[in-house]
A and B are shown apart, each in its own frame.
Chain A
Amino acid sequence: MKIKALSRSKASTTRETQGDLRRQHRNLDPTYHPHQRAREYTRAVTSAKIDRMFAKPFVGDLKGGHRDGVTASCMSRNALVPFVSGAGDGEIRIWDLAGRTLVQDLPGAHSRMVTGLVFANDGQTFYSCSDDGLIKSWNVYPDASNMEAQEWATLHGPVMTYRSNNVGSFKNIDYHRSMAQFATASDNSVDIWDPERNSPLVTFDNLWGNNVDTSTVVRYNPAERNLLGQCSMDRGIGLFDTRSGSALQKTVLKMRSNCLEWNPMEPMNFVVGNEDYNAYSFDMRRLDRPTTIHKGHVGTILCITWSPTGREFATGGYDKTIRIFNHRKSTAREVYHTKRMQKIFTLNFTADNKYIVSGSDDFNLRLWKSNASEKIGQMTAREEKAVQYRQALIKKYEHLPDVAKIHKSRKLPKLIKKQTAVAQIQKESRERKHANRVKYDKSGEHEFVSETKKVVVKKVD
């Protein structure tokens, strides 16, 4: 008879000395690991809890802030450190983002509110525009050779001042992605400038056939060299070609759009923030309806910033919250707020996709993590693996009520919660009313229309 019985010596299964690593054995047979689904689910709930526990998005403020509401800010296009901001009193400040410290303040840079700031492609020069009808260019890193040309006693500039005859106040500015050229929006026209010349190269003051429009926003498309996106006071969003100066398309929404940003990775898409509390994603090839309506704010949206990956964007506005949206989802992934933060006028994603800088009416610039529960600093390999595992579990089970409840719910200020609830009731009531009309009105003039179709009032070609 052939006989074999199990025989395990302790030496073969345990470590020899204290310093050794423990011997690991694995038996993958699922019957020795019962309740796998239940355990994974429990872990997912725990992961969601841990995620919320570590969610401390507010990093800190930029020390000193401003002496008036922060109205404009801008991140360098090719470096992580330089950051400039402008305030309602016309002051511009240059910051070191890494240390969150003030490098230089430029008091009286403008005599009125700074409405726009933009870095040139070299990452050193930046341009500011203001309600006082001037555009000025500055240097972040002072240029000693240029010192004699300084009119003022600062090392940073202004290097040049630009003005236009027919412009009372500039509303917005954007620098071209590849060429030495910038565009401004003003109460009278859209102007294209050469940095070397102090008067505009081209002035578009009759784009859509009526010359009374005030443009509020102008943005160069990141890929198409001559395409400009623009928002105007007549509630319109327009595209036009800078070569011909001819209008391509314009679409008019129900209410005014305050900001427009192109998706940096999918440059045919852009988002506008609207007065009706929504942000709209548009595909520039189809301006008759938005691709997605991003809802959630309970106040006008004033600013938008794209994450450099092009998958997410952050919005801020009159309801004193910052919301982060996935570019294809209609509800926000994240809502940030503090007790003291007021209306948010300007937002910027950092180029490493890790932080968001917000400038608000309470004179402060705040630094937020773009992923609320992410740990700042180096993680060990094990830690990183554990985090990834937790994220994967949350993603797998996020549709289930226990996990969703923890993962998605956010504590909001009472006022905003109330306003959201009221808006919801109003919406339901509206829908019910409309449904009744469709059902009982014999004339047939009422029908269900998709919500995206209702956004655009008219299209002008």
Chain B
Amino acid sequence: MSHLTASHGKKKDDIGGTNLIARGDTEGVTRKKHKQLKEKLADSSTSDRERISNYLNNGSTSGFNNTKRRRNYREDDRNPRNMDKLNDHQKRALLKRRRYGNKEIKNEINRKETQRLEAAIAAADAELVLHTEESGFLEVENEMEKTYKLTQNQLKPFLDEQTQRHIFDLRLDQYSPYRMHYDRSGRCGLLLGKRGGHVALMDMHTMALKSEFHLNENVRDATFLHNTTMFAVAQKKHAFIYDDEGTEIHRMSDHQDVYQMQFLPHHWLLSTIGRTGHLKYHDTSTGNLVSTHRTKMGACDVMTQNPYNAVIHCGHMNGVVTLWSPANSEYLVKMLCHRGAPIHSLAIDKTGRYMVTGGADSQVKIWDLRMYKETHAYYTRGGVPTSLDISQRGVLGIGHGCHTTFWGPDSLKYKVKDPYMSHNVGGMGPVESVKFRPFEDVCGIGHAKGVSSIVIPGSGEPNLDSMEYGLNPFQDTKQRREAEVRSLLDKLSPNMIALDPDVIGTVEEGDVHTRYERQQQLEEEANEKRLRDGEVKKKEKNRMRGRNKIKKKLARKQKNIIDENLLKLKEAREQEKAEHAAAKNNEAVAAPTEKAPAALKRFFK
């Protein structure tokens, strides 16, 4: 037996190194590697560290949330709230876990963490190679120069011929005011003449008109759907979907009096809001209305989406901004942004960190969406901020009156003294919409006399991504078709929209018992609702012999019905009784005729 027991050792278990082959590095090696990577991260420069941590958290702002969640898990294990309510098996498992921990899981987590860290560092390194283009810029050479004083005419000579073509004014008087929209890739532009309904689709690369049509009724808003072959238009009564040749594909009769529309590309959801203040989500791949929320705040003309978590932000007449997801019939967050002043415009930057609101009080406020707090505000002169947009590189564009003012990327982080650029549409105002064109240093302005396009250096993202669906401005037909199918396969469920998008695929917080209680509560609520809605009929109890007859059952049921006439009759009867009693009393008390006045004595006998 001795020769068998002699080989009883941890390392010799792994004969042929099968574990090693199947699992990769051993625990020790992984731990060492993890430590080295951490050290490497600590030694790198601040900018490098920022870049790496961006990849490490997937660009998420919720690194804090994740830490908190992890801490909660640990706390739950350490002090379960209701230890005595756990069953024996759970108790034993918990005690064991607390005493020894789970070594296998610990090692697995360590391995995953190391992989994640490695991947983040690799991605940050790859960025240096792959991001070959540099973004545009405006730089002053002395203190006397001010970038905001630079007009488009002064700028033009500095630009190459192709970029110069992006500076133009389109005078379109007949159907004005106009709105300008771009698709997600910046390839196509949608011009929307609101009065009389002029819709024009432009290829912005060739500056050619792809199609145009007239709807002969006022239109309020339009948005591209998953790609440029389809777009939705909010018309006088309904919302409609058209293809790129102007053929009407659908009339969406569920969406009436729509003022604003947004398309959530990853969820394939078209969300609309309008005169009645009902926020509606419509799945454009299946054609189902996903959900309808009553905002209870009246008509709503300001809506935008948060690109980071696909939450819809609505700005209301009472200065309140509410945040919505399709799964919750109540708002997720309600913020009073402008006291006593209606919200006129809203914009959210692509990281989902900053929200910018423009109110009737001429204030443009910057909000930190991690804390839901105002960080600073800008004041707009010459008109209230009616339209806002944030470019990919973080340039904030404000349309107010006849002016458009552009604040540099830093303006979101802290209060900047001077704007970055400005542009005056002059006699063509007021400005109707300001929209940055993705992946170009261009801003499209819709106004009362048509459409203008200007160049804002440094506003667009220089590096393209041909893998992301809908973000490649140069994709050909085949690529577009491929992307359509791929994006449908990756379509996200509407239920996945939440304030923290990283919560998906994590373990629910709370100990077993808390989770159980929560579930029970949900079940009870659902049952109550079913009872209320009359889905489940209450069973009549069987009574003793003789009282269980059908006739009596019905009579009992009848007794419970509250009938208005019956009530009135009952009431009248009660009154009569009371009067009768009172009359009797009176008779008893006031019988002697002598007490009556002389003039009335003739009524007594």
Contacts and interface: CB of A to CB of B under 8 A. Distances in A.
Which residue among A23, A31, A40, A42 has the maximum number of chain B CB atoms within 10 Å of its CB?
A31
Contacts of B136: 3-6
Interface in A34-54: 34-43, 46
Given A27-B130, A35-B266, A39-B266, A3 B158 contact: yes
Interface residues on B, range: 35 or more
A248 B18 contact: no
B86 to A, nearest CB: 13
Nearest to B351: A31
Interface stretch (A128-136, A150-158, A172-180, A264-272): A264-272
B244 interface: no
B15 A7 contact: no
B475 to A, nearest CB: 9
Given A6-B135, A7-B163, A28-B131, A23 B59 contact: no
B8 A285 contact: yes
Nearest to A2: B139
Contacts of B145: 1
B162 interface: yes
Nearest to B460: A6
Nearest to A40: B505
Interface in B413-427: none
Given A27-B130, A311-B18, A1 B59 contact: no
Interface string A306-334: 00011100000000000000000000000
A1 B7 contact: no
A435 interface: yes
Contacts, number: 183
Interface residues on A, range: 35 or more
A1 to B, nearest CB: 6
A266 B13 contact: yes
A121 to B, nearest CB: 19
A30 interface: yes
A116 B145 CA distance: 96
A27 B461 contact: yes
Contact of B491 (A24, A33, A42, A268): A42
A382 interface: no
Interface in B452-501: 455, 457-458, 460-468, 471-474, 476, 479, 489-493, 496, 501
Interface string B428-447: 00000000000111000000
Given A25-B464, A28-B131, A38-B504, A2 B15 contact: no
A265 B8 contact: no
Nearest to A431: B89
B596 interface: no
Prevailing SS type, chain A contact patch: loop
A13 interface: yes
Contact of B474 (A10, A39, A311, A435): A10
Interface string B281-311: 0000000000000000000000000011110
A422 to B, nearest CB: 21
Nearest to A327: B18
B4 interface: yes
B473 to A, nearest CB: 8
Nearest to B18: A265
A160 interface: no
Contacts of A248: 1, 4
Interface string A212-255: 00000000000110000000000000000000000011000000
Contact of B492 (A13, A14, A39): A39
B463 A27 contact: yes
Contact of A13 (B126, B464, B491, B504): B464
A397 interface: yes
A249 B4 CA distance: 11
Contact of A28 (B5, B8, B130, B457): B130
B123 interface: yes
Contacts of B57: 30
B441 A6 contact: yes
Contacts of B16: 265-266, 310
21 contacts: A1-B141, A2-B137, A3-B138, A5-B159, A5-B163, A5-B441, A5-B455, A8-B440, A9-B162, A22-B476, A26-B463, A26-B465, A28-B126, A30-B55, A32-B350, A33-B59, A33-B468, A38-B492, A266-B14, A268-B4, A400-B505
Given A4-B137, A26-B130, 11 more contacts: A1-B145, A6-B133, A6-B462, A7-B163, A27-B465, A29-B59, A31-B350, A31-B351, A34-B266, A41-B504, A265-B16
